[in-house]
Amino acid sequence: MIREAVAIAHPNVALSKYWGKRDVPGNVPAVPSLSVTLGGLRTRTRVRWSDDPREPDRLMLNGRALDRTDGGRIYAFLDFLRRKLDVRGAADVETDNDFPTASGLASSASGFAALTLAAMHAAGAGTSWPRVADLARQGSVSAARSVLGGFVELDVAGAARPFAAADRLPLVVLVCVTAEGPKSIGSTDGMRITMDRSPYGRAWLETAPRIHAALCDGLVAGDFARVGELAEASAMAMHASAIAAGVTYWNGVTVEALAAVRALRTGGTPAYATIDAGPHVKVLAQPQDAARVRGVMEAIPGVRRIIEAHPGEGARVEGAT
Q: Which residues bind ligand PMV (CB under 6 A)?
A: 14, 17-19, 33, 108-109, 140-142, 187, 276-277
From the number of C-beta atoms within 10 Å of its C-beta (0-12, 13-18, 19+), residue 60 rates as: middle
Nearest distance in Å: CB 238, ligand PMV: 7
Of 34 and 164, which CB lies nearer to ligand PMV in the complex structure?
Answer: 34
Which C-beta is closer to ligand PMV: that of 91 or that of 141?
A: 141
CA separation for the pair 281, 274 (Å, rounded): 6
| Beta-bridge partners for 175 | 282, 307
d(Cα 118, Cα 136) in Å, to the nearest integer?
A: 11
Query: In terms of CB distance, is 127 or 187 closer to ligand PMV?
Result: 187
Minimal distance, residue 49 CB to ligand PMV, in Å? 25
Residue 19 or 163 with smaller CB distance to ligand PMV: 19
How far apart are the C-alpha atoms of 171 and 158, rounded to whole Å? 26
Backbone angles phi, psi at 306, to 5 degrees: -125, 130
Give the containing element (helix H, strand E) for 66: none
Q: How near is the Cβ of 53 to ligand PMV at its closest, in Å?
A: 30
- For the chain, how big is the Rg over CA atoms in Å? 19
The C-alpha atoms of residue 89 and residue 252 are separated, in whole angstroms, by 48
Q: State in angstroms the smallest separation of the CB of 114 from ligand PMV.
A: 14
Nearer to ligand PMV, 43 or 50 (CB): 43
Report d(CA 168, CA 160) in Å as an integer.
18
Spatial distance between the Cα atoms of 41 and 107, rounded to a whole number of angstroms? 9
| Smallest distance from ligand PMV to CB 138, Å | 10
Q: What is the DSSP letter of 174?
A: E
Considering the complex, state which of residue 18 and residue 75 has its C-beta at the smaller distance from ligand PMV: 18
Q: How far is the CB of 56 from ligand PMV (least distance, A)?
A: 26
Q: How far is the CB of 310 from ligand PMV (least distance, A)?
A: 18
Residue with Cβ nearer ligand PMV (37 or 142): 142
| Contact indicator for 50, 165 with CB cutoff of 8 Å | no
Q: How far is the CB of 154 from ligand PMV (least distance, A)?
A: 8
42/239 with CB nearer ligand PMV: 239
> From residue 305, how far is each of 100, 142, 182, 186, 282 by CA, in Å?
11, 24, 16, 23, 12
Q: How far apart are CA 144 and CA 153, in angstroms?
A: 10
Q: Which is nearer to ligand PMV, 233 or 277 (CB)?
A: 277
CA atoms within 13 A on the CB side of 172: 17
Q: Give the strand pairing for 305-311 and 172-177.
A: antiparallel
Least Å distance, CB 68 to ligand PMV, is 20
